[in-house]
Structure 1
Amino acid sequence: MPGGRHLAWAEWGPPDGVPVLFCPGAATGRSLAFGSHLVDGLGVRLLSVDRPGLGGSDPAPGRGLLDFAADVADLVRLRELREVRGVGFSQGTPFLLACAASGILTAAAVVAGTDELAHPSFAAALTPDVTAMVEAVRSDPAAAERFFAGFGDADGFWQRILAMAAGPDRAVYTDPVFEGAYRHAMAEALAPGPAGYARDTVLASARWPFEPAQIRVPVDLWYGAADTSPVHSPDFGASLAARLPHARRHLVPDAGGALLWTHAADILRTLLRR
């Protein structure tokens, strides 16, 4: 990257396919894809990027959401990508929307996305634990970042994921092949230490430095009605859809938070039609 910092990514699909930027969830490295069995048939070039401080990407102390968008803009330029679309999963959502607000993407899909939890509209809707997290970031972001760094353990993350999963999600996460891939991606992301995850969590728990109303590209929001995660959108994306000028919300009744993998074909095909 300009300045000598390294940014790591992985990709699947044909080199001349439609580029789709993937912003993965919390503490997850670039190796965990979705729909990788579909990309050749759909003509998708899927690129998953390690955010700074995670996996193979060098740290960028003090970075913000728009700084990540600037990194992606450099990646797009250096790799000569055109007409880039994007997908954000869980905590990757604010990073994806920062890219959309910066004009990098032509269309986007939010999947089980973390909403702007610090927005006043959610003040009464959050669980006590999430309220405490948001308040800690608001009152002393540096102290909150140090606190989050104490949770940067891949095994502990996996146990928290299982604890929040119910019904259809638990069936996905406990599949031996999927569990192995997911846990490998977490170990990969946290190999440099917990600082990257801690910074991500501060940024995802604070007010966003852009207004969703300034995002002019189409955005599809995908939520599973059986999702029990307290850190995804409290209203399954309804508020965020209302704040985005060109949004369409899909609430899938038989899905949970893992619908990125159970409904990958629908998500990618809809994104390509945009």
Structure 2
Amino acid sequence: MLHHAEYGDPAGVPVVHFHGTPGSRLEGGALDAAARTAGVRLIVPDRPGMGRSPHVPGRRLQDWPATFTQLLDGLGVERVGVLAWSGGGPYAVAVLAHAPERVRSVGLLAPAGLLPRVPWANRLMPHVYMPVVSLAARARDWGPTAALAQYRMRRARTRLEVPERTPLAPSAAAVLADSWREGFRHGPAGPIRDELVINEDWGALVPRARAAVDQGVPVRLWHGRRDRTVAHRHSRRLASALGAYLVDSQEGDHAGALLVSGPEALAFLS
């Protein structure tokens, strides 16, 4: 069973959030205030090998819909909205394709790319850089983790001209830093596996996901053109393949998809 945390309104509309890579359930803290405003009960599970969920060696994207269904059954929830940021995106497509009866609507925030062909480097590099990131992120006083999160949040605000009164979590940078650290609780094996999973060739899921959209499951994407982590063109390709609407931000970056567009997506899902 996946370990999870809940944010927002306990009596609100249930929405399950799939965190980024690396990341953990703590990422939901950045959306806690927005979830309360939207009347959303935000449920954020740790994926296997990250946070408090045990590692599952060799897991594949095709395993996720059954895991997702078990989570909902354990919570006693029949249907939910699904929100996903970055590396959580392919997992959202997987449940839309294979468990559409449990999904009410889907919001994708700068989802990991739908690639016409997966480069060999995408499968090799996680084994190289994730162990290094793990050692750094798990150091309790490693300042660059928090500094990077603070920089990303500040850049998201500045580029989108978000006024300080906008109800983003005041500690959003610290929340993201803690989420990344927590993602390496068990070491690099879980994040490495997660990178390999999201870099699988998951294009075959798209026709089934498109069928769910055609049958009435609303899907919306948010992606900024200044995103240097996941290219904007990937969301254009995915939105077209799914028949979904893309909210196209000229100035938004990768962090802005979560911190700035996330509240709008929660309102859509509610």
- TM category (shorter chain) comes to 0.7 to 0.9
Looking at structure 1, the residues matched to 232 and 46 of structure 2 have their Cα atoms a distance apart, in angstroms, of: 27
Instruction: Describe how 1:92-131 pairs up with structure 2 within 5 A.
Output: 92-103=88-99, 104-117=102-115, 119-120=116-117, 131=119
Q: Can you list the C-alpha shifts for 1:108-129, whole angstroms capped at 9, x where unaligned?
A: 1110111123x23xx8xxxxxx
- Structure with the larger helix share: 2
Say if 2:49 is the partner of 1:68. no
The alpha-carbon deviation at position 228 of structure 1 amounts to 2.0
Say if 2:37 is the partner of 1:41. yes
Instruction: Describe how 1:101-250 pairs up with structure 2 within 5 A.
Output: 101-103=97-99, 104-117=102-115, 119-120=116-117, 131=119, 133-134=121-122, 137=123, 146-147=127-128, 149-153=130-134, 154=137, 158=145, 168-169=155-156, 177-208=171-202, 210-215=204-209, 216=212, 217-229=217-229, 232-235=230-233, 237-245=235-243, 247-250=244-247
How big is the alpha-carbon RMSD for the aligned residues of Structure 1 and Structure 2? 2.9
Matched pairs, number: 244
Looking at structure 2, the residues matched to 49 and 195 of structure 1 have their Cα atoms a distance apart, in angstroms, of: 18
Looking at structure 2, the residues matched to 156 and 210 of structure 1 have their Cα atoms a distance apart, in angstroms, of: 41
The alpha-carbon deviation at position 235 of structure 1 amounts to 0.6
Looking at structure 2, the residues matched to 222 and 145 of structure 1 have their Cα atoms a distance apart, in angstroms, of: 26
Looking at structure 1, the residues matched to 231 and 156 of structure 2 have their Cα atoms a distance apart, in angstroms, of: 16
- The answer (yes or no) to whether the contact 1:32–1:181 under 8 Å persists in 2 is yes
Letter in 2 for 1:26: T
- The answer (yes or no) to whether the contact 2:114–2:203 under 8 Å persists in 1 is no
- The answer (yes or no) to whether the contact 1:98–1:210 under 8 Å persists in 2 is no
Match of 2:165 in 1: none
Looking at structure 2, the residues matched to 209 and 98 of structure 1 have their Cα atoms a distance apart, in angstroms, of: 10
Match of 2:12 in 1: 17
Greater length-normalized contact order (CA 8 Å, ≥ 6 residues apart): 2
Letter in 2 for 1:67: D
Letter in 2 for 1:203: V
- The answer (yes or no) to whether the contact 1:225–1:252 under 8 Å persists in 2 is yes
Looking at structure 2, the residues matched to 21 and 108 of structure 1 have their Cα atoms a distance apart, in angstroms, of: 10
The alpha-carbon deviation at position 219 of structure 1 amounts to 1.3
Structure 1, unmatched stretches of 5+, are: 2-6, 124-130, 138-142
User: What TM-score, normalized by structure 1, do the two folds share?
Assistant: 0.79
Pair 74,193 (structure 1): closer, same or farther in 2 beyond 3 Å: same
Which ranges of 4 or more aligned residues in structure 1 deviate by more than 4 Å? Answer: 159-162, 164-167
Q: Can you list the C-alpha shifts for 1:147-169, whole angstroms capped at 9, x where unaligned?
A: 3542442269949967x969833
Say if 2:3 is the partner of 1:8. yes
The alpha-carbon deviation at position 15 of structure 1 amounts to 3.0
Match of 1:52 in 2: 48
